[in-house]
């Protein structure tokens, strides 16, 4: 495998965690999953975003930092590849959407201090799906606190991700996930595994799923 640290990103409901599980099995890779269920502010945020956005984002940043920091200090002779279902920069992207300007400035200062201490992925897989598909996936996984997420919020997150990817010249497999069904269509996972065996220049490389 050419890439030792593979990160998967995408909007809420894009299929990041499902793909991360499947890729880790295919590649015999160490798996790092976002522990969103441990964030006590998440259900409260969806009920009252203005009040709980800042503690929500601080908690997420602390937990993501703890997970990824351990990656630097641990090694596994039998698992030389790591697959993660989030990019640490996700902290900043969601904070940009969720926080008021003065809160975001403070948050960004903390982020900049922490970010430089972490390993950066060798390649990013970005799953891009239309909001209608995202909402279908969100309804299907039946997390109660997510069921009222408005389309406008998903559009804002989507635009923030795309803007970041276009502005930063990291190696990115930009995958059209409009018809993604990673559990039901093994060929889709095989396409991504094959793509990960190729050499890429920095920038975005676009793929469609069968």
Integer Cα distance of 101 and 107 in angstroms: 10
Contacts of 17 (CB under 8 A, 6+ apart): 33, 34, 85
- Return the number of other C-beta atoms located less than 10 Å from residue 194's C-beta: 10
Residue 58 Cα distances to 65, 99, 106, 138, 139, angstroms: 11, 11, 11, 24, 27
With residue 95 as reference, give the H or E element that holds it. Answer: helix 90-98
Catalytic positions: 85
With residue 1 as reference, give the H or E element that holds it. Answer: none
- In the chain, which ranges are E strands? 5-10, 30-32, 82-84, 123-128, 171-176, 203-208
């Amino acid at each position: 495998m050419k890439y030792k640290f593979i990160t998967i990103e995408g909007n809420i409901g894009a299929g990041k965690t499902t793909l991360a599980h499947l890729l880790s099995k295919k590649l015999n890779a160490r798996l790092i999953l976002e522990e969103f269920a441990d964030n006590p502010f998440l259900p409260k945020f969806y009920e009252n975003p203005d009040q709980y956005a800042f503690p929500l984002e601080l908690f997420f940043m602390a937990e993501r930092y703890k997970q990824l920091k351990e990656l630097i200090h641990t090694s596994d002779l039998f698992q030389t590849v790591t697959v993660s279902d989030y990019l640490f920069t996700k902290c900043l992207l969601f904070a940009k959407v969720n926080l008021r300007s003065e809160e975001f400035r403070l948050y960004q200062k903390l982020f900049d201090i922490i970010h430089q201490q972490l390993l950066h992925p060798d390649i990013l897989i970005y799953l891009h799906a239309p909001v209608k598909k995202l909402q279908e996936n969100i309804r299907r996984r039946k997390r109660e606190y997510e069921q009222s997420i408005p389309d406008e919020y998903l559009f804002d997150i989507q635009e923030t991700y795309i803007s970041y990817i276009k502005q930063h010249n990291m190696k990115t497999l930009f995958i059209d996930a409009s018809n993604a069904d990673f559990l039901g269509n093994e060929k889709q996972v095989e396409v991504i595994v094959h793509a990960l065996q190729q050499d890429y220049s920095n920038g975005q490389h676009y793929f469609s799923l069968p």
